[in-house]
Amino acid sequence: MENKKILTVGIAAYNASTTLTHTLKSLLLSEILNKIEVIIVNDGSTDDTQKIAEKYVLKYPHTVRLINKKNGGHGSVINKLIQTANTPYLKLVDADDTVEKKGFVSLINCLENCQADVVLSPFYLANLKNNKKIEKGYLINNKKNFEDNKICVFKDYYKKLDPALHSITYKTELLRKSDFKVDEHCFYEDTEYALYYFLYAKSILMLDKPVYCYWIGNDGQSVNIENRLNRRNQALNIVLNMISFYENNKENMDRYKKIFYMNHISALIGFSYELLMALPSEKIAKSESKKFDTKVRKISPEIYQYFGNGDMGGRKIAKIIKLFRITNWNGYFIVYKALNSSMVNRIKMV
């Protein structure tokens, strides 16, 4: 008798013919095949992504499904997967990333007896050029950056949580009941996915084994600094969306959720100013920073005033921006000249 499947792994695949096989091989482990479903969403690829996916559907008909759709961006894939997942839990894996066998099997075994709204696990940041792996956690102000198989309530960790798409496994029911949709046809919407759905999350299972392996070093990735700068308007819009999300939902938040969201949004705002300060033109950097600052104030005077008071860093840039606000942005050129190089290096490291 086939065991009940517990986890849906959703794969966002766009022109992923060179990496999809590697991703699938890491997932399709014999010891857990009957416990997972893998949904490959082919987001309008023009290469052999569909053909590769079809081979795996034929080979693993009880585990692998393929959905072909018009290109709508990573966010559209996330929204589609939330609608179509057939198991209690959903984890997203990009078609150029992999999972770690030990951590992945352990995750699935834990999920079989899990009722938590969110499951968090460490992940690896791995470099394609030298295969070096760095372990990343999901907590701040914590020596290990993760906990050892611990169930907690949100209010006990609201100031420590630092979730990312790579560390998150959501309860599918939570995603559907929340009824939020992340932005489509844009990049950096993973920030929305990592934060929106915590609004109604109460219980969290924290694991200690890395599950996800996030491969970086590809010049075409959205986190590449040139791409970040070229797509900065999309990144800034995501931050503005997060501010609007807070304003639209703060009446449904207790004080723990309010502080959680204000801290994260404050950090996102700070990174936005740093990103703009990494631009090669001081004139453009100043102009766009002023416009962004005006939009933040218009959407949420509360967040505008709170900026820099959170526990997630960014206080240095916040002090600078608050001084600019007082002086009508006089002196930006001097600060830009002093910090531009360091901001470029910082963005490269993120």
Q: pLDDT tens-digit profile of 276-332?
A: 999 999 999 999 999 999 999 999 999 999 999 987 778 899 999 999 999 999 999
Residue extent(s) of CATH 3.90.550.10 domains in the chain? 7-216
For the chain, the farthest-separated pair of C-alpha atoms sits apart, in whole angstroms, at 72
| Phi and psi at residue 118, to the nearest 5° | -135, 140
CATH 3.40.640.10 fits 7-216, yes or no: no
Q: Which residue has the tokens 């600052």?
A: 293
- pTM score of the predicted model: 0.93
> What are the residues whose beta carbons fall under 8 Å from the beta carbon of 196, sequence distance 6 or more?
178, 180, 182, 245
pLDDT digits (tens, 9 = 90+) for 161-208: 999 999 999 999 999 999 899 999 999 999 999 999 999 999 999 999
256-263: long-range contacts at Cβ-Cβ below 8 A with a sequence spacing of 24 or more? Answer: 256/154, 256/155, 256/158, 257/154, 257/158, 257/198, 257/199, 259/158, 259/159, 260/154, 260/158, 260/159, 260/161, 260/198, 261/195, 262/302, 262/303, 262/306, 262/309, 262/310, 263/159, 263/310, 263/311, 263/312
Residue 89 has pLDDT above 60, yes or no: yes
